[in-house]
Structure 1
Amino acid sequence: MTGGSVRGPGTPGADVPVHVELRTTDVEEARAFCRKLYYDPLRIEPVGDPGRFDFRADVVELGPITVGEVGYGTDIRISSGGLETAYHVLAPLTGMLRSRHRGTVVLADPTRAVVYRPTGDIELEWPGTCRLLSVKVERTALERELDAALDQRVVSPLPLGASFDVADGPGRTWVALVRLLLAELRGPDGLASQPRMAARWRDMVVSGLALTVEHPYGEEPAGLQGPYRPRTVKRALDVMHAEPWRSYTTRDLASVAGVGIRVLQDGFRQHVGMSPMTYLRRLRLDGVHAELSRTDPGGVSVSEVAYRWGFTHLGRFAGAYRERFGVPPSATLRGRA
């Protein structure tokens, strides 16, 4: 058994990286380690051969981020309440992880990472063959970063997508960046171990995640849209965010923006990445999802919530909801039980 070791004079939360590693066959020691570095309460239960339990974690804390490689050696089940203070990404390096969060089930593997928002219970089925990259980002750090990339205030918690592709595109680059940072910070003499450089790497990880993960502020990652949007587009966005349940038409939104329909549509495609009505539908779906996730199943029905958010055709709503979240709306509501 190898106990935790800390390298460097800094403390968690500073710009000086703090490196901690642990290898143990003791379940309680592994639980204590994870609760201290990640979340408490956090329930970890082996469901595979207990004799094969072999917890290995190599973790670096750097200001608002905690990055590590973690594996258990045997099949385990993990459950946790809302993360509250952080967003979290798990990206398997080997094997497959089954995740359930806010009514959505994601099968994460080396091609797809799973994303957790600060609210909603989490359940993980983690096979012994799965070793993964774990990235915890403080809630305020990610929200500030995304807010800075847009010309509008974002909601909190961010309505992020449940997963993203890491086999190609921005996701692959972001995972490579995180792995390189972790490798650099493990060594005592790497360039990233210097406080000024470590702070820059830290900011790259946070900003890279903000530009990679899916959010309702645009179909394309925020960084590809440019930090500023025309005033006409901003006017339409402000109206939709103020009263998303209203039965707007594209003509209504163009009138608010003071331009023609075609000009508004072209502006949205260029600066938001989708049409005005597609954006409005996504905004409403995320509102329904958030309300169903936090509502007592006995206190409201799916149809009530859908109507409240402007959906009048329940069949089309249910299909759009399943397409976006991977489950029917009733599953999200029951997931609260």
Structure 2
Amino acid sequence: MDGMVGSAAAPDTPVHVALHTSDVDEARAFCRKLFYGPLEVTPVGDLSGFAFDGDVVMLGSVTVGKISYGSDIHVNIADLETAYHVLAPLTGTLRSRHRGTTVLADATRAAVYRPVGAIDLDWPGDCRLMSVKVDRAALERELDATLDQRIVSPLLLGESFDMVDGPGRTWAALVRLLHSELCADDGLIRQPRMAARWRDMVVSGLALTVEHPYGVDEPAGLQGPRRPRTVKRALDAIHAEPWRQFTAGDLASSAGVGVRVLQEAFRQHVGMSPLAYLRRVRLDGVHAELSRSDAWQVNVSEVAYRWGFTHLGRFAGAYRDRYGVSPSQTLRERR
């Protein structure tokens, strides 16, 4: 492998990992480690041509890989849970089944996957593709901010989009450029501030490219109330520094209102108190970090402290309430 996923890497520090192998088990372990734990890769037919080629870059909430197997395979993935995903073939045609819909993805059309629902892929040997993983919280937060209203989670996204014309063409080109630049050692994107901006462009570009029902004409029952500026200011403060030890008074000051006014506005427009929302953002951050790490790379306590949790007992209880498992289980199961 080229490169290593390190726990000390800053969120905007690019990580590049590559693997070229004819060993099926090694290829399967590589994909599980960098994308999803519950992933099964099963060769179909003759294995003589099996030649896995994976070139993956990670940048905070975005993981982009150029992947091919060299021979026909079948891939099955359980619920993604913590991410949205796009498969954009460069060559060949991928047959994808997700949530009762079959998509034939090729160089003209990408397949899109929501966090809920198993994924079933028939992946021919001549198919080489860009595999793009976007953390669930990052995409939902981006669409929420773009629309300035509450959204349904997980997002009700379309199952595919066009990569020949319109926004899809631009987004696919951006992803390819991001990948090639992060694979190099001397590009401008290696500067942390530039890397963060490119990462944000990939997330915001996807939010604007993929089909969703959250526009002006969305169906009754999906539309959320528009959020007042005071709530948006507090939300922006939380997402800018989720690890900061905010009090209700701190958030109210950032919003320019009193504590009671902000709490009532949050209950009405967010569905929970400001501090409850802050805790959810922190928990999602810890969960995302543990989900993409190996047990030997990170320490649960260190990750929790980094995200602003100072009482580990309360953190562990809140984590189990939200995800149904302990933090250490998440770390073990995503190896």
Task: Extract unaligned runs of 5+ from structure 2.
Answer: 225-335
Write the mapping of 1:159-170 to structure 2, written as runs, cut at 5 A: 159-170=156-167
Match of 1:141 in 2: 138
Match of 1:95 in 2: 92
TM-score (norm 1): 0.64
- Say whether residues 1:203 and 2:200 are aligned partners: yes
Shift in CA distance, 182/240, structure 1 to aligned 2, threshold 3 Å: same
Structure 1 letter corresponding to 2:181:
E
Match of 2:21 in 1: 24
Distance in 2 of aligned mates of 1:25 and 1:104:
32
Shift in CA distance, 12/167, structure 1 to aligned 2, threshold 3 Å: farther
Runs of 4+ in 1 over 2 A off after TM superposition: 7-13, 237-243
Equivalent in 58, 61, 65 of residue 62 of structure 2: 65
Shift in CA distance, 74/28, structure 1 to aligned 2, threshold 3 Å: same
- Say whether residues 1:153 and 2:150 are aligned partners: yes
Q: What do residues 181-239 of structure 1 show as CA deviations (whole Å, max 9, x unaligned)?
A: 11111111100011111000000000000000000113xxxxxxxxxx7xxx8xxx796
Structure 1 letter corresponding to 2:44:
V
Aligned-residue offset at 1:9 = 7.7
Aligned-residue offset at 1:103 = 0.3
Report if the CA contact (8 A) 1:87-1:136 is conserved.
yes
Distance in 1 of aligned mates of 2:93 and 2:202:
24
Equivalent in 222, 233, 240 of residue 241 of structure 1: 222
Shift in CA distance, 192/217, structure 1 to aligned 2, threshold 3 Å: same
Report if the CA contact (8 A) 2:151-2:223 is conserved.
no
Aligned-residue offset at 1:10 = 7.7
Match of 2:177 in 1: 180
Distance in 2 of aligned mates of 1:80 and 1:7:
24
Paired residues, what number? 224
Report if the CA contact (8 A) 1:89-1:136 is conserved.
yes
Equivalent in 49, 73, 78 of residue 76 of structure 1: 73
Match of 1:285 in 2: none
TM-score (norm 2): 0.64
Distance in 2 of aligned mates of 1:103 and 1:238:
21
Q: What do residues 92-135 of structure 1 show as CA deviations (whole Å, max 9, x unaligned)?
A: 00000000000000000000000000001110000000000010
Distance in 2 of aligned mates of 1:76 and 1:24:
15
Distance in 2 of aligned mates of 1:212 and 1:239:
23
Distance in 1 of aligned mates of 2:124 and 2:150:
40
- Say whether residues 1:54 and 2:51 are aligned partners: yes
Write the mapping of 1:1-337 to structure 2, written as runs, cut at 5 A: 4-6=1-3, 14-218=11-215, 240-241=221-222
Shift in CA distance, 124/140, structure 1 to aligned 2, threshold 3 Å: same
Shift in CA distance, 38/13, structure 1 to aligned 2, threshold 3 Å: farther
Distance in 2 of aligned mates of 1:155 and 1:92:
29
Aligned-residue offset at 1:151 = 2.5
Distance in 1 of aligned mates of 2:211 and 2:28:
31
Distance in 1 of aligned mates of 2:127 and 2:13:
30
What is the DSSP-based 3-state SS (H/G/I as helix, E as strand, rest coil) of the residue aligned with 2:2? Answer: strand
Distance in 1 of aligned mates of 2:92 and 2:129:
9
What is the DSSP-based 3-state SS (H/G/I as helix, E as strand, rest coil) of the residue aligned with 2:48? Answer: helix
User: What RMSD, in angstroms, separates the aligned Cα atoms of the two structures?
Assistant: 2.0
Distance in 2 of aligned mates of 1:45 and 1:95:
19
Task: Extract unaligned runs of 5+ from structure 1.
Answer: 219-228, 244-337
What is the DSSP-based 3-state SS (H/G/I as helix, E as strand, rest coil) of the residue aligned with 1:137? Answer: strand
